[in-house]
Chain A
Amino acid sequence: MKKQNIFLLSLTAILSSAIILTSCGGSSTEGAKTDSVATAPAASPNGVGEFTHVELSATLNEDMITKGKGIFELKCSACHKLTDAKLVGPGWAGVTKRRTPEWIMNMTTNTEAMLNQDPEAQKLLELCLVRMPNQGLNGEDARNVVEFMRKNDGQ
């Protein structure tokens, strides 16, 4: 009987320590960074991410357009068309008029956070139902894609 009591006590101790351990969620612990529950929506037209101010030149940069087109063909064209037709994701026609360059660059480099926190990105997810993959673009890649999109929009 005494042995049973010890068992009960120790089981209780284990369970309660487990409860304590798991009740302080929300801290950024190892391995817990994907698909975290959406927090308060960020309403900035720039979206969520490192790009808060991007300077666009008045004339288009042909070199950047060429690079942006290469990235589009390798990493984007499987899901996005250059027209307004939706494929897996929305068509790109007019995107530079709908979105700020900062929003586009945050969406293409900080995709998970955008899908979790940005209301506009979340609307697109509801529409497309496929989470846009992070395609490993760096800031320069993203900027080149914006230039290519501007060209596509006839700017």
Chain B
Amino acid sequence: MKNYINYVAATLAIATLTQCKPKSASQVVTGDAASKVYVAPGKYDEVYNFVSGGFSGQLAVYGLPSARLLRVIPVFSQNPENGWGYSEETKPMLNTSHGFIPWDDLHHVALSQTAGLDDGRWVFVNGNNTPRVARIDLKTFRTAEIIELPNSSGNHSSPFLTENSEYVIAGTRFSTPLDGNNDVAISSYKENFKGTISFIKVDPTSGNMSVPFQVVMPPFNFDLSRAGKGPSHDWFFFSCYNTEQANTLLEVNASQRDKDFVVAINWKKIEEYAKANKGRVTTSKYAHNVYDDKTHSATSTISEGIVQFDAAELKDMIYLIPCPKSPHGCDTDPTGEYIVAGGKLAATIPVFSFSKILKAIEGKQFDTEFAGLPVIKYEAALYGEVPKPGLGPLHTEFDDKGNAYTSMFVSSEVVKWNIKDLKVIDRKPTFYSLGHLMVVGGGTAHPYGKYLVAYNKITKDRYLPTGPELSQSAQLFDISGEKMEMLSDFPTIGEPHYAQAIEASKIKDGQVRFFKIEDNKHQYATKGEKESKVVRTGNRIDVYATCIRSHFSPDNIEGIQLGDEVYFHVTNLEQDWDVPHGFAIKGANAAELLVMPGETSTLKWTPDRIGVIPFYCTDFCSALHQEMQGYMRVSPKGSSVKLVWSLGDFSSDAPAAAATK
């Protein structure tokens, strides 16, 4: 009882504290919120929520409604926790035309779709800084592929998918001079700088990505995009800003014009055009990295040459639609008829009609041309505007009942409105200043609805303070009723930008639990302790090692010399779920390995001193985990110590004294 009173007192105290904030939390949290997010021990969440990690470069996976963090999937950043980007097998995944890059800025998430619905096969994410798109396999929750995008800088308008995952689209944020004409004055922006939109083809079976061509656009900043749906299936819609084409103090200079553009692109026609025409081939170099679950290894290939088409030559395929001030989000509703743009600096939310856009094109209702592209009259494309929605509309997602939800950055609220009559239904504050929001299945033709999560940019006082650096805050809403109901607050990794969520049933039963040891095609796999050995080739030493609860084979190695490079290939012989073994060597200039059952991973170790160096298993594996260890003896260069290795005192099957004590 006393606990109750303390709890209530604390809650009231918090409520009082937040009273000075715009619409306090106490007004938006109702009594049964806790029961709606409570997932009992041993029970599963209803949906998987894939949340971009922003400047962490990784992808977080939460369960909703509990908001429990299930996993952080390493994508663009090295992850010492499991050796991603440190093991010899995964280093190639972070290769680029600039060489090895251990980090990126991951903003957007796109679940693969079939017929406009999330199919649970892959999730695509973007690397913003050194432009890349990654594909994560949802059977293993691992990054399976990363492709670099040439002639792109700040790969922000990416990755966005067509309804059957035919293409991933990637527009550049920065316009830059194109490869082959790079060394130009920055002030020659209008003349020499170009934007690009890369078309990434996705193989429908393997998911493998390739870049058949790029479209060279006027030098705008491309911001976000969405493919059409249903009737607008053949189209993509992009938001862009800086149509002023400024190259300095964009904060002011890119906010001059009353309207920027939504760009409507007929990808289907461009695809046909690209098949029939040659295009220009540039000298661009880009990396393509693929991870193979059979060899348990990645390969990185540098490709050269990319096909480009100029936007102006793609007649009847690209149209500009004026859009109030600096649009950010550009979202297609589930029916594919409405395109909602969020003008960061605008006082309204314009909603464009796809059927009106088609009519306007047919009737040539154009204002003028801009950089050789026809500009459709604003009114001719407009379905209507949501009046006074709030301040700073950014992103819009949709539920299964014909409603839209728009994030308002400046006024820090989610605004729910009806797509048909454009009337605001409800508004709820978020804490504080949300950027992206997402509804479960909100990007599909048939949203699942039920939950909405707001991903906020400012955290301030939401959690126990942790010094100057705080984790970012997200808020979960129940949107099943007329009014939105805030359910919970939870911290996220890095900085969350976009996120998507999918019914758990579409993913959970297809999970790989371990890799079959019989299928292991790794060059240095050791299939059984009998095969474990140490091989010297010049100054390279390959250790073919195995591990099983709870020992390594071999666990004593002598004959290593200073100047050697030791490759420790560890094969986990376990064949059961959730039995990884870790592997770490004292003084290794790398991270540990975390080796999944049936997998082989390699730690490269260059001994830097003479002595006996221990190694051990880092992942608690059994009651005798603490015994899972070994020694390597490092002798001077040219030493006469022979290369020998062993495990225990039984090298044969003869009964051994140590075993019978």
Q: What residues make up the interface of A, taking CB atoms closer than 8 Å to B? A: 3-4, 6-11, 13-14, 17-18, 21-22, 29-32, 73-75, 77-79, 81-88, 91, 129-131, 133-136
CB of B581, distance to nearest CB on chain A (Å): 11
Closest to A74 in B: B528
B38 cross-chain contacts in A, Cβ below 8 A? 14, 18
Q: Which residue of A lies closest to B624 (CB)?
A: A130
**Chain-A contact segment, one of B27-35, B51-59, B227-235, B419-427:** B27-35
Residues of B within 8 A of A86 (CB): 659-660
Least CB separation from A29: chain B residue:
B42
Q: How many residues of B contact A (CB 8 A)?
A: 45
Contact with A along B511-549 (1 / 0, CB 8 A): 000101110000000011110000000000000001011
Please pick, from A10, A31, A74, A79, the residue contacting B527 in the complex, using a CB distance under 8 A: A74
B516: chain A residues within 8 A (beta carbon): 136
- Tell which of A74, A75, A91 has the most Cβ of chain B within 10 Å: A74
Q: Which residues of B contact A8 (CB under 8 A)?
A: 4, 8
A-B contact pairs, 13 of them (CB 8 A): A7-B11, A9-B31, A13-B35, A18-B40, A29-B42, A31-B43, A74-B518, A75-B517, A75-B575, A85-B660, A88-B551, A130-B550, A135-B574
Q: Which stretch from B236-244, B475-483, B650-658 is at the chain A interface?
A: B650-658
Q: How far is the CB of B31 from chain A (nearest CB, A)?
A: 4
Which single member of A4, A14, A73, A83 contacts B655 (CB below 8 Å)? Answer: A83
Q: Which of B12, B553, B622, B656 contacts A85 (CB 8 A)?
A: B656
**Cα distance A4–B10 in the bound complex, in angstroms:** 11
- Which A residues are in CB contact (< 8 Å) with B464? none
Complex CA distance for A84 and B8, rounded to whole angstroms: 65
- CB nearest to B518 among chain A residues: A74
Tell me whether A133 and B576 are in contact (CB under 8 A).
Answer: yes
Residue numbers in A under 8 Å from B276 (CB-CB): none
Residues A7 and B41 in contact, CB atoms below 8 Å apart: no
Residues of B within 8 A of A6 (CB): 31
B31 near A30 with CB under 8 A, answer no
Residues of B within 8 A of A3 (CB): 12
Q: Which residue of B lies closest to A10 (CB)?
A: B31
Question: Contacts A18-B40, A86-B659, A136-B514 given: A73-B549 contact, CB under 8 Å?
Answer: no
CA distance A104 to B280 in the complex (A): 68
Task: Tell me whether B4 and A11 are in contact (CB under 8 A).
Answer: yes
The docked-state distance in angstroms from the alpha carbon of A135 to that of B31 is 49
- Cβ of B370 within 8 Å of any chain A Cβ, yes or no, is no
| A131 contacts across to B, CB distance below 8 A | 549, 622
A3-B4 Cα distance, complex, nearest whole Å: 13
Cβ of A33 to closest chain B Cβ, rounded Å? 10
B623 at the interface (CB under 8 A from A): yes
